[in-house]
Structure 1
């Protein structure tokens, strides 16, 4: 099953609500992912541009997009970024295919 890195930034209102009423959102996230046929691998609080980072295995891109759309539609996120992750074997296969693609760069 494909893996995805999901990075989330909360709105300032959502952060204020979490400060006022601290809660562990992992169960809600896990249930949503499971309902879409996936599995939550891990979830972490992070510093910097994103407040939460998670890794999820999802059946396909459509399911991963559905997760992002559902989360974004809730109104408590400032941004959400979903990045497909390739295994080492997939990366090697991609490099092999790239070498066979016949692509040539722009000549200067």
Structure 2
């Protein structure tokens, strides 16, 4: 299964509801991801531009797209962004493909 990072930011209203009723949001995320045939590796909150991120494993790009749309459509988030992850052991293959593609590309004006 492919790995993805899903970055998110909550609405102020979602934060307010969580302050009133603190609960395990990882359980809710896990249930949603498992419904798409995936698994939740980790969920972290952070300071900065985004409120947190999850590392998920799902079968296809369509599955992560569906999860992103489902999350965004809930109304609890101001931002949802999915990024494909490349494992260190896979980087050599990616670089080989990049070199082949670069060799076939002619920059503008050349």
Whether the TM-score (by the shorter chain) exceeds 0.5 is: yes
Which portions of structure 1, spanning 4 or more consecutive aligned residues, are displaced by more than 4 angstroms?
none
Counterpart-to-counterpart distance in 2, 1:52 and 1:98: 31
What secondary structure does 1:100 align onto? helix
Among residues 63, 86, 105, which one is paired with 1:103 in the alignment? 105
| Unmatched tracts of structure 1, length 5 or more | none
User: Secondary structure of 2:14's partner?
Assistant: helix
> How many residue pairs are counted as aligned between the two chains?
108
Aligned residue runs from structure 1 range 17-96, under 5 A:
17-96=17-96
CA offsets 1:2-50 (integer angstroms, 9 cap, x no match): 0000111000111111112111111111011011000100001111111
- For 1:105 and 1:92, the matched residues in 2 are separated by 24
Cα root mean square deviation, aligned: 1.4
TM (norm. structure 1) is 0.92
Distance 1:46 1:32 in 2: 21
